[in-house]
Chain A
Amino acid sequence: MPHVTDEDISTYVDGRLEPGRYDEVVREIERNPSLRHKAEAFASQGEALHELFDDVLDEPVPDRLMQVVRPTVANQNKPSGGFSFSQPRQWLAAAAVAGLVFTGGLGSGWMLKDGGNQENAIFAPLVRESVLSHQMMELNRPSGAVAGQAAITMNGDANPFQVALRAPSQAGSSNFQPVSFRNVVGSSGETVQVLYSDEQGEVVTLYVQEHSKNVGLPFEKSTVDGYNVVYWMDGPLLYSLVSQKDSNSLMGLANAFYASKGIQPLGQQQMGGQPVMGQQPSASQPSGLQPVVTQPAGQVIPTQPGTQ
């Protein structure tokens, strides 16, 4: 019987256990009521913390604080406008974990549906972080767009992966164009986030992380706090697409992103299995965007999407 520590349970509650360890811990938690109660208690602490402190987010910011940042503009006190993190259920980790413990049932995975435990362990942090990053990017989105560029090609410091990154210039036949990109440090390390926007100002975030596994995992859908998410794994890269668009439209965009193959492993052709949900992308029907594979020397070689 594997020994399960408090740290295991704490890490499990955060969805951060390694896949192998995750299965062991879930089995023990399901078997041992005291461990289950401890996991429930840990998860409920997160909810309680939000209940205790989230009202602060809705309080008007005192003038003395605003004047530190805006010394020339007095009395521009305002409540935290725009997107608010103040609703307890909007805080992703706590809400998701609570869902696991109190509604989803232990061991069923949290936030994500229909996936196996290993897939949940892989995708759960990705989904959580991608939604949070989407919210952050909505808050701090640049006023100027770079739409009209053929694509955003990320090189050098902008590209942390051993892959060529070339965010598609347009998501299929939609009007979504790349607005900005940035690097962030996610749970699995370096992450690239690309923000797309259409003419109406609707935004979609493509969130890409590298993973040690190198497989294909099909499209899955999830809804987190009003945001629809489509996520999948293609070769060594995990993808999450986040928006407030309806899930079917988002799935269509995901297919378009997948088919465009704008992000390719370095020196490799397409890897892993194919997403299968919704409109399965066809290798014979690429989006029309020519993907690239950048060799170490910087040579750019067109590839054929869908090549196995």
Chain B
Amino acid sequence: MSDFSEQIVEQIPHLRRFARGLVRDSVKADDLVQDALARALAKSELFREGTNLRAWLFTILRNLYISEVRRYNAGPKLTVVDETMTPPSVPASQGDSLALRELEEGLQRLPEEQRTTLLLIGLEGLTYEEAAVVTDVPTGTVRSRLSRARESLRRYMTGEGDAAASPQDGLEDASRN
């Protein structure tokens, strides 16, 4: 097996973790990783040696995820996803496990670009600059999305009231609806 393939193998656990943050369902998350791996190997000539392989793989996975979301949103649906965040009925302080469940719930309620940014930096340890490359936005936008994601989650976790998306969020979210 080539060195490139070996390097990709090393990144699979991280791809799975990132995907699990994007998609709560573990099977669907692995589907996403599988597609990303296949795409990465097919497009291996586009990877520049010496650059961040993990960030490159995250970019592929995230783009696939967005395509899936758009495909889903383009199809017929029976329900409308409400992007505003409703506070949990029980404060998070009642237990760690409950807090984690609420964190997961709150994370899934974040707009995709905020959730992705939070996962890339808060979980995967990318720098702002690397996250900007993955999400194809300026570094300033990364900072903004990250702070909004954190504040929305904080408000959700503490039950301070709903953290409705700002007008800017609405514009950014338009592509998802």
- Interface, chain A (partner B; CB < 8 A): 5-7, 9-11, 13-14, 16, 38, 41-42, 45-46, 48-54, 56-59, 61-62, 64-66, 68-70, 73, 80, 82, 85-86, 91-94, 125, 129, 132, 136, 139-140, 182-187
Interchain pairs with CB closer than 8 A, number: 137
**Stretch binding the partner chain, chosen from B5-13, B59-67, B78-86:** B5-13
- Within the complex, which residue of B52, B100, B158 is in contact with A52, where a contact is CB–CB below 8 Å? B100
Specify the chain B residue showing the minimal Cβ separation from A57: B13
Please tell me if the beta carbons of A70 and B9 are within 8 angstroms of each other in the complex.
yes
Q: In whole Å, how far is B99's beta carbon from the nearest beta carbon of chain A?
A: 7
Min Cβ gap B78→A in Å is 29
Check A92 against B125 for contact (C-beta < 8 Å).
yes
The reply on B146 being an interface residue by CB < 8 A is yes
A45 touches B5 (CB 8 A): no
Taking a contact as CB atoms under 8 Å apart, the answer to whether B154 and A59 are in contact is no
Residues in B neighbouring A70, C-beta threshold 8 A: 1, 5, 9
Q: How far is the CA of A132 from the CA of B127 in the complex (A)?
A: 11
Most buried by B among A5, A56, A80: A56
Given the known inter-chain contacts A139-B10, A185-B52, please indicate yes or no for A53 contacting B123, CB distance below 8 A.
Answer: yes
B177 in the interface (beta carbon within 8 A): no
Q: How far is the CA of A78 from the CA of B52 in the complex (A)?
A: 24
| Interface check B167, CB cutoff 8 A | no
Per the 8 Å Cβ criterion, residues 149-166 of B in contact with A are 150-151, 153-154, 157-158
Chain B residues within CB distance 8 Å of chain A: 1, 5, 7-10, 12-14, 16-17, 20-21, 30, 33-34, 37-38, 41, 50-54, 96, 99-100, 103-104, 107, 118-119, 121-123, 125, 127-130, 143-144, 146-148, 150-151, 153-154, 157-158
A51 to B123, CA, bound (A): 10
| Extra 4 A-B pairs, beta carbons < 8 Å, given A14-B128, A140-B7 | A5-B147, A57-B13, A57-B17, A65-B30
Q: How far, in whole Å, are A61 and B34 apart by their CA atoms in the complex? A: 11
Complexed CA–CA distance, A62 and B28 (Å): 13
Contact B10 A129 (CB under 8 A): no
Contacts of B128 in A (CB 8 A): 14, 16, 187
